[in-house]
Amino acid sequence: MKRSTLIICLVCSVLCARGQERFKKWGDQGDGTYANPILNGDFADSDVEKSGDKWYLITSTNHLSPGMTIMESRDLVNWKYISHAIPSLTWESNYQWDKINGYRFGVWAGDLVYHEEREEWLCYQIDFQSGLYVTRAKNIRGPWSNPECILKRKHWTDPTVFFDYEKREAWLLANWGKGSPPRPDTPHDLKLFKLSWDGGELLDEGEVIWTGQAVEAAKIRRFNDQWYVMMIEWQGEGEARDRKQLCLRATTDSIYGPYEARTVMEREKDTDRSACQGSLIEAPDGRWWFMHQLVQNGEPVFHGRPQCLQPVIWQDGWPIIGNDIDGDGIGEPVWQHGKPIESDSSLLLQTSDEFEGDLVGHQWNWNHNPRRERFSFAERKGFLRITASKPVAANRGKLNGPFWGAPNTLSQRQIGVGQTAVISKVDLSGLKQGTRAGICHFSGSFMQYGGRYAVFGVRGEADGKRVLFFVDHQGSDSGEIIDSDVIYLKSNTDFDEARFSWSLCGRIWNETSYRYTLKFGNWRGNRVGLACWNPRTDDSSKAGWMDVDYFRYSPSSRKNK
């Protein structure tokens, strides 16, 4: 092995080991402090808005449906799922269950805003292959309207909106690029548009207010009678090249600028995870905070882009985010800090689902829009029934295998990088010849990079028998015959390794030899969930079904025990 290669391998091993330990501790620590990340999973592209005594956060979902997850918090540390701002991905046929070919696209970074005069919530997002869309709701929990298209155009991203109630003017600012996503070596523009007061129409052709290297993720705000734009930009050369958090400040009282810029946060010198892209937040006591993500350019990466909360101080009218360790005026991330607001530290993010109602919990998303007539809570009370479909054939580049074309795969974000456990109780009496039913892990978004998945469950045979099966992106295998109508399926993860086991009673477990290495899927982290399909037939009377009694998911401990 060459010396340079050996050094790179050693550095990667050290960073991976450090990340494994650092990210095991997260969220509310129960002693008045929190540890970053506060949301230790793939909660990418956040935007935070305050209403009353609560904060609301949106996070992107790409091809998953419903889209744009909404979360709520009273203290900026403990969050819960409450809704989705995009009920269905209606604007392109590739998102429908009979296409399932939108893995590169869908719901990217957006902006959540409450229109005080109209007493209405609005959520903006740009599908970079399609255009700018807005959804609306009177109540943050919904119902939300179907997406309305404001402007059809490719290759722009990251909208941010501002309503000026004194002048009754509104604006929308977005990354107006020459390609998307922005490349580190490509200049991009921030373009400002006049927006109608109801938020539903762009009134002009827009004006460029800033140009930089792959600038994106802008948030426009007004503090202390000055205009500010928070954004990210690629800076530096060689190994030091990195995404950094910039702040633009207008030198006049015009939203059009001109603007001056400062770098206000960067990653630590001994880590490889970029810290940037987020929202400035003022707490009730007057202190300031910054909610941001860690980008996917370092280890550990399989859990995607988690959210962190940083303290902010203002110095000469500029924010310094985190801790300015070397006194250069640029902050670096803080990993543990006192909570912004005292609160109940026992609150936990929803993960498990007993399927006792008539809807899945807000933690869930379908892979593309679901085939609604093939899942039900009414067929059997207290169970989620997923009727198998024949996987849809399509040209998905390197996303090979029936899993990527199977309608009604249901999943949620993996939470944490420590030890996690999924146990699902499944009734197999509805299996037919060819039915595959089980629990799954997967990640993947960009077709040209491929995706990874693993499904562990039971397959129906021609003679009525049922056998264990395991399939992943590398191949498949079969196991024992299951002579029971009920099976308990289990997945345990420890850092990036998943192990699978099964039981007929829920107490005595049979460990299998199946292993799956969790990976980042190029813009999406690992997800856990349920899958059911039949490659032989799409006839619902012959395809079979799975009845899921419960899905109990235990995330990794927040305190690294």
Question: Can you give the residue ranges of every domain in the chain?
Answer: 25-338, 365-554
Q: Are strands 365-367 and 288-294 parallel, antiparallel or unpaired?
A: unpaired
The conformation of residue 357, written as its DSSP 8-state character, comes to S
Is it true that 25-338 and 365-554 share their CATH fold? no
Specify the pLDDT at position 446. Answer: 62
pLDDT tens track for 527-561: 999 999 999 999 999 999 999 999 999 999 999 76
pLDDT tens track for 340-366: 999 998 899 999 999 999 999 999 999
Look at residue 16 and tell me whether its pLDDT is greater than 80.
no
Residue where the block lists tokens 């719901």: 107
Q: How far, in Å, CA of 243 to CA of 212, rounded?
A: 12
Specify the pLDDT at position 296. Answer: 79
Q: How far, in Å, CA of 477 to CA of 499, rounded?
A: 15
Specify the pLDDT at position 8. Answer: 38
Specify the pLDDT at position 4. Answer: 42
Q: Is the peptide bond before 284 cis (omega within 30 degrees of 0)?
A: no
Size of the chain, expressed as the number of residues it contains: 561
Look at residue 18 and tell me whether its pLDDT is greater than 70.
no
Q: How far, in Å, CA of 55 to CA of 283, rounded?
A: 10
Give the helix/strand (H/E) hosting 34. Answer: strand 33-35
How does residue 291 score in pLDDT terms, banded at 50, 70 and 90?
A: very high
Look at residue 233 and tell me whether its pLDDT is greater than 60.
yes
Look at residue 14 and tell me whether its pLDDT is greater than 50.
no
Residue type, 489: L
Specify the pLDDT at position 39. Answer: 98
Q: Which fold has domain 25-338?
A: Tachylectin-2; Chain A (2.115.10)
How does residue 3 score in pLDDT terms, banded at 50, 70 and 90?
A: very low
- CB contact at 8 A, 70 and 83: yes
Give the helix/strand (H/E) hosting 96. Answer: none
Q: What is the CATH number of domain 365-554?
A: 2.60.120.200
Look at residue 11 and tell me whether its pLDDT is greater than 50.
no
Q: How far, in Å, CA of 7 to CA of 13, rounded?
A: 10
Q: How far apart are the first and last CA of the chain?
A: 38
Give the helix/strand (H/E) hosting 5. Answer: helix 3-22
Alpha-carbon Rg for the chain, nearest whole angstrom, is: 24
pLDDT tens track for 69-119: 999 999 999 999 999 999 999 999 999 999 999 998 899 999 999 999 999
Cα torsion through 499, 504, 509, 513, rounded to 10: -40
Specify the pLDDT at position 268. Answer: 87
How does residue 462 score in pLDDT terms, banded at 50, 70 and 90?
A: very high
For the segment 191-197, the average pLDDT, to the nearest whole number, is 98
Q: How far, in Å, CA of 201 to CA of 132, rounded?
A: 10
The conformation of residue 324, written as its DSSP 8-state character, comes to -
Residue of 526, 388, 556 lying closest to 457 (CA atoms) = 388
